[in-house]
Amino acid sequence: MSDTVIHAEAVSKRYIIRHNRLSHLTLRDSLSAGVKRLLGRGGSAQQEEFWALRDVSFAVERGSRIGIIGRNGAGKSTLLKVLSRITPPTEGRITIKGRVASLLEVGTGFHPDLTGRENIYMNGAILGMKRHEIRAKFDEIVAFAEVDRFLDTPVKRYSSGMFVRLAFAVAAHLEPEILIVDEVLAVGDAEFQKKCLGKMHDVSTGEGRTVFFVSHNMAAIENLCTHAIYMTRGKVTKVGPARDVVDLYVRKGGSTDLANARAVGAVFELMRVRAGTPEGAPLTPLKPAIIELQFRSTRAISDASAHVLFEDLNGSPVFGLDSCDFVARTGLAANESATLRFNVASLPLQPGPYRVRLWLKSQGEHLIWEVPDIFDVTVEAASVYGGRAIERQYHGTAAAVVTASLERQMEVAA
């Protein structure tokens, strides 16, 4: 009898992206476009296909611990959503044997108005467990999550850390055959992350359950996982022993280009974003870093500038860069592109995931465009620095030595 619990065959997932270039125009432009559409002379909104997954195939044996790695936008989270049956594949087939519990985002599967106690029982019922089975695991869940004082409080009043602790405890203790965990664990503190990794190891080795784990922490992938799947732009690049797959990922430079970093506004067009070391490796605490933006102006402007903001997963700003502080006033001709490069001598960020927000500006033209997409980037843990040392050195506001340059590239569209 086969011991395969998950079998993916040529799985693909397609999304339709609609582009509406009118969203940032003036009221006069919008009214004019509306009249043209009524007269039959207006064009319809453009759209394109985006394949988040393409021909993904693999098989997973019972009791395996599978790490999924890849650059931002590689399709890792989409794959987990397909495995969790949150979204169906556009093409292909996935066969799953057993109950699946997933922890993909903070709050997933929890009703905000219910208490912690009520949500535990609700999640158990969703997994098909009887009330006495949930009651038998109840004390273990509460002890693991360390939220006993707040069990009868609606979870909408929980902090993000409390939410994640309870959500992971529920997912891990209610005995699903397959446990799926995304990068959401990064919201918790270091001690709890270590506790979660230990629990995932225990349920796999001791109870024969299968674990899927997405992380940008390569050390955690190597220590926890037996095998790994390396994804690139929605496709599987390599499947194999975790150490071999991680080595390939590191040799290829990890994640430096922020995938899908392209957006169009009324005046500015963002073409590319890169974040990494000068050698092309992932960002690392206290090491040199380069943050690079390539953008275009659709009309002549007297000065071009940009603002970059790193936020933690709670949305709190932790590190910001503004080119106005470093670069002299630089004008751009119509359809001229530019590359703005921030050189950070020593990156003042602790290891972990961050969200990057971008603004393109022209003070002379009184233009400020906030790029609608928020990009994910991860600062990798450095083996030569312990997490505690980083925390002691950068507790509170940190200063960084930064230089910047803005280079013009005339690329007038035909």
* pLDDT, tens digit (0-9, with 9 covering 90-100), for 259-315: 556 677 778 888 888 888 887 778 888 888 888 888 888 888 888 888 999 988 667
User: What does the mean pLDDT of the chain come to?
Assistant: 78
pLDDT top residue among 387 and 161? 161
Q: Indicate whether 391 belongs to any domain.
A: no
Q: How far apart are CA 184 and CA 165, in angstroms?
A: 10
**Together in a domain, 290 and 378:** yes
Give which of 261, 208, 253, 207 is closest to 230, Cα–Cα. Answer: 253
Q: How far apart are CA 411 and CA 297, in angstroms?
A: 10
**Together in a domain, 93 and 216:** yes
If you average pLDDT over residues 77-105, what whole number do you get? 86
pLDDT top residue among 90 and 162? 90
* Cβ 64 vs Cβ 4: under 8 Å: no
Task: Express each pLDDT in 71-80 by its tens digit.
Answer: 777 888 889 8
Task: Express each pLDDT in 165-188 by its tens digit.
Answer: 888 888 778 777 888 887 666 555
Looking at 224, 252, 280, the residue that finishes a domain is 252
Q: Indicate whether 43 belongs to any domain.
A: no
**Together in a domain, 212 and 261:** no
**Together in a domain, 57 and 132:** yes
- Give the model's confidence band at 12: pLDDT under 50 very low, under 70 low, under 90 confident, else very high: very high
* Cβ 324 vs Cβ 305: under 8 Å: yes
Tokens (6 digits) for 247: 């080595």
Which pLDDT value is given to residue 397?
Answer: 36
Q: Indicate whether 284 belongs to any domain.
A: yes
Looking at 252, 271, 286, the residue that finishes a domain is 252
Q: Indicate whether 233 belongs to any domain.
A: yes
- Give the model's confidence band at 57: pLDDT under 50 very low, under 70 low, under 90 confident, else very high: very high
Question: Which one-letter amino acid corresponds to residue 373?
Answer: D
Q: Which residues contact 38 (CB under 8 A, 6 or more apart)?
A: none
Expressed as residue numbers, the domain containing 382 is: 257-386+397-409
The DSSP element (H or E) to which 63 belongs, if any, is: none
Task: Express each pLDDT in 346-365 by its tens digit.
Answer: 888 888 878 888 888 888 77
Provide the whole-model pTM.
0.59
Assign 242 to helix, strand or coil.
Answer: helix
Q: Indicate whether 137 belongs to any domain.
A: yes
* Cβ 221 vs Cβ 213: under 8 Å: yes
Flag whether pLDDT at 383 surpasses 70: no
H helices of 39-115, in order, are: 76-83
The total domain count for the chain is 2
Here the CATH number for the domain that contains residue 218 is: 3.40.50.300
Q: Indicate whether 27 belongs to any domain.
A: no
**Together in a domain, 186 and 149:** yes
**Together in a domain, 199 and 273:** no
Here the CATH number for the domain that contains residue 405 is: 2.70.50.60
**What is residue 150's DSSP assignment?**
G
Q: How far apart are CA 90 and CA 14, in angstroms?
A: 6
Q: Indicate whether 143 belongs to any domain.
A: yes
Phi, psi of 239 (to 5 degrees): -125, 135
- Give the model's confidence band at 413: pLDDT under 50 very low, under 70 low, under 90 confident, else very high: very low
**Together in a domain, 75 and 158:** yes
Which pLDDT value is given to residue 1?
Answer: 44
Which pLDDT value is given to residue 230?
Answer: 92
* Cβ 274 vs Cβ 265: under 8 Å: no
Cβ neighbours around 220 below 10 Å, total: 19
**Together in a domain, 277 and 248:** no
Q: Indicate whether 38 belongs to any domain.
A: no
Assign 316 to helix, strand or coil.
Answer: coil
Flag whether pLDDT at 122 surpasses 80: yes
